[in-house]
């Protein structure tokens, strides 16, 4: 069968996404070796209708994150208008968490959870003329609702997940990169584990795959790192280094390979703080950037978020990364109950710890999670394009638009060239006093890059107030 996999466009209101490699669709393609598969990345090509009309697929599969929902529905309707007889199947994170959102007349089936086995069996059922309701792990639209087939058991081993088929994205390869990245080669994405052993209150990752955490063996991890196209890649797991023994084995294998790959990945602060030797070893084999969810600057907030961490551990992790020479992309949550004092406290912590490239995320209830269900009556909007951790979808303690202003000010101050130059001057004084340049975040972020970040964030956040105003107006109309 001919199968067209579609990565939807990104709504222009979404502020927090780069254009990363559609790894989930590549893994799906890897599971369909006995079918003819193409991938259409709607983020880079406009005419989906022409692709469907000219190539004439038998089945079109569309994926979607929550913020991509609206664009996914647009793609589904464009396909159906072009080819009324084609089968349309939907999957991905949002379909798993909120399948009822795809109970649409244009959709033939919704795949729940890890989709490679379910989608392959569904295609085989169509090819042989069998009833798709015998396939486990589906939701089938019926009379305006959904009929669920038998539940598919969660994956027990990472070995069950196929290797990605990157040939289907070859024509887009150099265009895959993170927000603000200028690398002309693009950036590959590799996944080494599934789920997360943590239970953070604001996160949905641990709730997928029925709460199971699966790890890939280190040999296959390194094999894919070495085979991934380009020089830069991201390990897209939520917690790449949870298993320390496994992490040391990855270091050992990368040392033997003498690779020159440059890797960024997501790591917990407590893992970093407890393993300084491992951090230095990872830096030696190309791990240059860690994205770390510190989340808060007080122990009370960390407890509230069920983070399982303390401020002592967070500060220790910052020191370890600085001494190891690893760029620290520190992530912090901005909660709806923030007052000006809370924004100021977060800003002071950034200053005190001299963090150069932090990321601030507005606390957002992820659709399909218990937090989202509890927030139903409080939501300011149900437009999923705003669920991007930059727009605020819940009522705020301070005035809503003033909350926006403080959020933007936090970014503007953090990424100001004035702050960078002041830090540089202070470090120069220490150099004169001690004869040694201090280990700081600044040395990982050159002056030109700091200036670029500052200008980029100004452009990135410029439309945000207009969106906040639109959310406030729509909510006021709904109440009246």
Nearest-angstrom CA–CA distance, 254 and 27? 24
Domains of the chain: 2-148 (3.40.50.2300), 168-412 (3.20.20.70)
pTM to 2 decimal places:
0.91
> How far apart are alpha carbons 176 and 189 in whole angstroms?
9
CA dihedral 430, 431, 432, 433 (to 10 degrees): 50
- The residues, ordered by sequence, that sit 6+ positions from 188 with a Cβ below 8 Å of its Cβ are 21, 166, 176, 228, 229, 230, 232, 233, 234
What is the structure's pLDDT at 255? 96
Q: Strand 138-142 to strand 145-148: parallel, antiparallel, or no bridges (unpaired)? A: antiparallel
Can you tell me the distance from the alpha carbon of 194 to that of 201, in angstroms, rounded to the nearest whole number?
Answer: 18
Q: State how far the Cα of 328 lies from the Cα of 330, in Å rounded to an integer.
A: 6
| Stated length of the chain | 480
- Give the 3-state secondary structure of residue 454: helix
pLDDT at 68: 96
How far is Cα 289 from Cα 312, in angstroms, rounded to an integer?
22
CA quadruple 246, 247, 252, 257: dihedral, nearest 10: 110
What pLDDT was estimated at residue 240? Answer: 86
Q: Which of 465, 440, 389, 452 is nearest to 416 (CA)?
A: 452
CA distance 105 to 143: 9
Q: How many Cα atoms within 13 Å fall on the side-chain side of residue 184?
A: 0
CA atoms within 13 A on the CB side of 85: 4
Q: What pLDDT does residue 442 have?
A: 53
Residue 443, number of CB atoms within 10 A of its CB: 15
* Nearest in space to 222 (alpha carbons), one of 256, 187, 195: 256
Q: Give Cα 315 distance to the centre of its chain.
A: 25
Residue whose C-alpha is closest to residue 32's, from 4, 64, 63, 67: 4
Report whether 283 contacts 326 (CB < 8 A).
yes
Radius of gyration, alpha carbons of the chain: 23
Residue keyed to tokens 């000006």: 340
Which phi and psi (to 5°) does residue 450 adopt? -60, -45
Structure tokens at 430: 């220490």
276-284 and 311-324 helices, crossing angle to 10°: 30
Give which of 282, 407, 302, 403 is closest to 347, Cα–Cα: 407
Q: What is the DSSP letter of 390?
A: S
- pLDDT per residue as tens, the chain (480 positions): 999 999 999 999 998 668 999 999 999 999 999 999 999 999 999 999 999 999 999 999 999 999 999 999 999 999 999 999 999 999 999 999 999 999 999 999 999 998 999 999 999 999 999 999 999 999 999 888 999 999 998 877 888 889 999 999 999 999 998 877 767 788 999 999 887 776 655 566 666 656 677 889 999 999 999 999 989 999 988 888 989 999 999 999 999 999 889 999 999 999 999 999 999 999 999 999 999 999 999 999 999 888 889 999 999 999 999 999 999 999 999 999 999 999 999 999 999 998 988 999 999 999 988 889 999 999 999 999 999 999 999 999 999 999 999 999 999 999 887 887 887 787 778 778 887 766 665 555 666 676 777 778 888 888 899 999 999 999 888 877
**Do 339 and 397 form a contact (C-beta atoms < 8 A)?**
yes
φ/ψ of 287, rounded to 5, equals -80, 95
CB-CB neighbours of 277 under 10 Å: 10
Structure-token pair, residue 228: 């991934």
Measure the CA–CA gap between 91 and 133, rounded to whole angstroms.
16
């Amino acid at each position: 069968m001919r199968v067209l996999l579609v990565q939807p466009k990104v709504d222009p209101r979404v502020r927090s996404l780069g254009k990363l490699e559609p790894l989930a669709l590549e893994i799906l393609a890897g599971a369909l070796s006995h079918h003819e598969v193409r991938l259409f990345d709607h983020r880079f090509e406009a005419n989906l209708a022409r692709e469907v009309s000219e190539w004439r697929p038998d089945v079109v599969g569309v994926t979607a994150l929550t913020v991509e929902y609206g664009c996914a529905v647009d793609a589904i309707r464009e396909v159906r208008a072009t080819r009324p007889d084609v089968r349309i199947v939907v999957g991905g994170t949002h379909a798993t968490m909120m399948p009822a959102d795809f109970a649409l007349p244009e959709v033939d089936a919704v795949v729940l959870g890890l989709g490679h086995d379910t989608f392959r069996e569904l295609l085989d059922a169509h090819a042989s003329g069998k009833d798709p309701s015998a396939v486990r792990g589906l939701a089938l639209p019926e009379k305006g609702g959904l009929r669920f087939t038998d539940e598919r058991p969660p994956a027990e081993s990472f070995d069950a997940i196929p290797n990605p088929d990157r040939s289907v994205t070859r024509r887009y390869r150099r265009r895959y990169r993170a927000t603000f990245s200028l690398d002309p080669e693009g950036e590959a994405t590799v996944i080494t584990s599934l789920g997360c052993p943590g239970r953070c209150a604001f996160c949905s990752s641990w709730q997928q795959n029925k709460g199971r955490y699966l790890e890939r063996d280190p040999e296959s991890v390194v094999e894919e790192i070495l085979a991934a196209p380009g020089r830069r890649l991201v390990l897209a797991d939520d917690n790449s280094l949870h298993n320390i023994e496994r992490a040391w084995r990855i270091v050992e294998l990368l040392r033997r390979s003498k690779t020159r790959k440059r890797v960024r990945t997501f790591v917990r602060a407590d893992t970093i703080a407890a393993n300084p030797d491992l951090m230095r070893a990872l830096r030696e084999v190309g791990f240059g950037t860690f994205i770390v969810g510190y989340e808060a600057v007080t122990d009370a907030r960390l407890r509230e978020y069920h983070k399982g961490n303390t401020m002592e551990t967070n500060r220790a992790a910052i020191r370890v990364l600085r001494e190891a020479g690893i760029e620290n992309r520190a992530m912090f949550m901005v909660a709806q109950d923030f007052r000006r004092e809370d924004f100021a406290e977060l800003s002071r912590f950034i200053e005190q710890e001299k963090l150069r490239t932090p990321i601030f995320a507005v606390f957002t209830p992820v659709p399909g999670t218990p937090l989202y269900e509890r927030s139903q009556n409080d939501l300011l909007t149900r437009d999923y394009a705003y669920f991007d951790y930059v727009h605020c979808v819940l009522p705020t303690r301070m005035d809503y638009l003033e909350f926006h202003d403080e959020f933007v000010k936090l970014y503007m101050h953090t990424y100001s060239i004035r702050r960078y130059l002041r830090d540089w001057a202070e470090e120069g004084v220490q150099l004169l006093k001690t004869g040694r340049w201090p280990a700081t975040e600044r040395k990982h972020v050159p002056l030109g890059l700091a200036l670029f970040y500052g200008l980029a964030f100004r452009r990135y956040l410029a439309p945000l107030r207009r969106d906040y105003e639109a959310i406030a107006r729509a909510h006021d109309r709904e109440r009246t």
